A and B are shown apart, each in its own frame.
Chain A
């Protein structure tokens, strides 16, 4: 080991956030995380012997060795087809999601906090959805503006009065978390429609353990392999009543969808057929799949298709991906759909601003995970504040995902800000704004060795009759120096997330 002192980074809380100076020639000798919270070296402030061990093992690796392992990992991901496919006119190009082999590490205490916070949020989301599609108490009590909910394009009138099994609307959720300078977890957004990325959590673990066996040796990690079993159980236990051995399927848009790999992965982990819309038919408001032996009943559908495409009879009549009659079968209670239709209203970026109030309203508890302070431009004071502080804020369109259409004030040029100001003034209700969070960083293999890169965390929760959270989650990393955008469509990659079991 290069330096004995590496074992106790940050023992003096006062020096915790200033660049560490280290002697030695190890991989960390040039690593400087500045004022950002470092996921590895700072942890939660108290020294953890296992994290110290991981760090000193990493530190002792020759850079070339680490690069070779990274190449090996990439080759493997490519050969195994853990890829998304980009179709051009004549060709299909497979790309891997960039992978960084240095794991992001959470202590057991950190994880317990996240786990409890995510469960609390999912409970509140489900109660909120039930309420807005039934009695609308929260609207009647004036906690959240009625128009924001009922006038929301994602509010689905077909769901009004429908009693979904177990009261569960959001069976699978992904909560996007970031950490600020002090290491505090903040919720950036909820994903309550069809959140993706969980396959990478599990594949990243397999890849990391294959290429970094010496780093992981003897470290007690919480397992990630049980996701498929939990998801299958949740779907089976919420199948329509009176079915002994429910048939669960995963509904995918098919091989041309960029997340097809994940659909395959999940179908395999759940042990259920992956179906496309054309594999399903409805007869007498029941759903069947076409098999070699004729039609076979289907009871629970984990769908990876947006609401609009689910059923051409109920929604977009031009959709060829869905199943005609599916929504009617759903409304008759003959099939369970996960996630439920119409959950998009709950993860809307404008509704997000009200989440702390939603949690207090239904659960009479304080939120365990805080929101990022959010200004709603639909409201006059929110718009005024945003316009006055544009160069210090992140402004996001409420209807977009994937990091599209947003502006990061401090990183934008004068021209970009002026242009954005015009767009914002033209359609204020389409935007929210938030302060720029100094996202935490994680040591990442870059051109010049290990460097700090910003990361976020998306834990995945599965809810049947109760909620289970996959330990860890997807750590996305912004690979460009200084970049805060972790989305894969914007040059982001991912890392394995280790939760120390203790």
Chain B
């Protein structure tokens, strides 16, 4: 009845702006959940190894201090873990992110695979079922492992079943943008946990904490293979920011993001992508032109902050180009629009 054709060889199917927005945010939220699980897990390790201010650091790297301390007196293990896992009042908690991911996926059901939807549906129901018992200190590490695994299952199913057209490119762009952002936050947690005094740098505790950061990003063994005996903090920071082969490094993800945007411009003739490609190129150049040591000397935390704000600008520009806000004649955004799906922004700062 219909002939089989290569979608790229023919006129590409149009993609609704709303679908593009939702796919990108679905990817971002799922990545963000995974990273939050990683961060909670590594903090737990830090605290066990003696970092006194470990839990407060999570609040800091997520720029949630104001909201957190409005309702909590102190950043204890219990209060912070609750805040970031099961607190439905907190928009940056795993349960809120899972809810947002699910609502985006519901909007996307016409374009995502049944298998993607079904797994997400089961996962988000699991997250919503969590209670205080499930986040006790004895359970938290296991829970984080389960969440990471479920997020990775999502990633795998997506890789294996999501039809490769525009929507999947926006999905990938969202994932890479989020990973780029998250690696800077993961590095920052070490910065906040233990401001390295002259004496502290390179100490045993310092090294073991950097190892934990590597492990939490699933990069420990790769790092060992590449860098063997070099365990200087600057080398680890260099690996996390600048490795071209490590899947969670800033550099890898900027390269992929660049590729995604180029694909939109080239294969789908979306000219608006050009300017954004330029911005990502600029960011990559700046990263390439500095060594990790230089970045640390100039201020690692400031660098991370700057990257995060650049990435927010890129997200904003993608929104302006591909899902511009409807004009005056159209819908008033205030009225009855699903809150997690419309006008989604980087809620982390």
Chain A positions near chain B (C-beta within 8 angstroms): 79-81, 90, 94, 254-256, 260, 264, 267-268, 273-279, 281, 289-293, 296, 320-321, 324
Contacts and interface: CB of A to CB of B under 8 A. Distances in A.
A279 B16 contact: yes
B320 interface: no
B95 to A, nearest CB: 11
Nearest to A90: B88
A291 B117 contact: no
A80 B335 CA distance: 30
A442 to B, nearest CB: 29
B348 interface: no
A128 B174 CA distance: 53
B18 A279 contact: yes
Given A281-B326, A324-B330, A80 B114 contact: yes
B161 interface: no
Contacts of B16: 273, 275, 279, 289-292
Interface string B86-114: 00100000000000000100110110001
Given A80-B114, A278-B18, A278-B331, 6 more contacts: A80-B121, A267-B110, A273-B16, A276-B18, A278-B326, A289-B16
Given A80-B118, A289-B14, A292-B270, A277 B106 contact: no
B15 interface: yes
A326 to B, nearest CB: 12
Contact of B103 (A90, A255, A289, A290): A255
Contacts of A275: 16
Given A79-B122, A80-B118, A255-B338, A291 B14 contact: yes
Nearest to B128: A91
Contacts of A293: 14-15, 268-270
Nearest to B120: A81
B110 A268 contact: yes
A79 B326 contact: no
Contacts of A260: 106
B17 A291 contact: yes
B331 A320 contact: yes
Contacts of B118: 79-81
A264 B121 CA distance: 15
B336 interface: yes
Give the size range of B's interface with the partner: 35 or more
A83 to B, nearest CB: 9
B290 interface: no
B14 A296 contact: yes
Interface in B315-332: 322-323, 326, 329-332
B44 to A, nearest CB: 29
A89 to B, nearest CB: 12
A90 B339 CA distance: 13
B40 interface: no
A274 B106 contact: no
A320 B334 CA distance: 10
Given A81-B117, A292-B20, A292-B268, A324 B15 contact: no
Q: Which 7 A/B pairs are nearest by Cβ-Cβ distance?
A: A291-B14, A264-B109, A274-B110, A320-B335, A267-B110, A292-B322, A290-B17
Contacts of A292: 14-17, 20, 166, 170, 264, 268, 270, 322-323
Nearest to A282: B329
B22 to A, nearest CB: 10
A279 B15 CA distance: 11
A277 B18 CA distance: 11
B163 to A, nearest CB: 12
Contacts of A79: 118, 121-122
Contacts of B17: 279, 290-292
Contacts of A320: 331-332, 335-337
29 contacts: A79-B122, A80-B117, A80-B118, A80-B121, A81-B121, A255-B341, A260-B106, A268-B109, A268-B110, A273-B16, A273-B19, A273-B110, A275-B16, A278-B337, A279-B16, A281-B330, A289-B14, A290-B16, A290-B323, A291-B15, A292-B14, A292-B16, A292-B170, A292-B264, A292-B268, A293-B268, A296-B14, A320-B331, A324-B329
Nearest to A261: B109
A94 B118 CA distance: 13
A321 B338 CA distance: 12
A267 B107 CA distance: 12
A225 to B, nearest CB: 13
A81 B337 CA distance: 22
Contacts of B110: 264, 267-268, 273-274
Contacts of B117: 80-81
Given A292-B270, A296-B14, A277 B121 contact: no
Of listed A256, A260, A274, A293, residue having the most chain B CB within 10 A: A293
Nearest to A85: B106
A324 B331 CA distance: 9
A288 to B, nearest CB: 10
A275 B107 CA distance: 10
A54 B341 CA distance: 48
Nearest to A270: B110
A316 to B, nearest CB: 13
A167 B331 CA distance: 33
Contacts of A278: 18, 326, 330-331, 337
A315 to B, nearest CB: 16
Contacts of B329: 281, 324
Interface in B5-29: 14-20
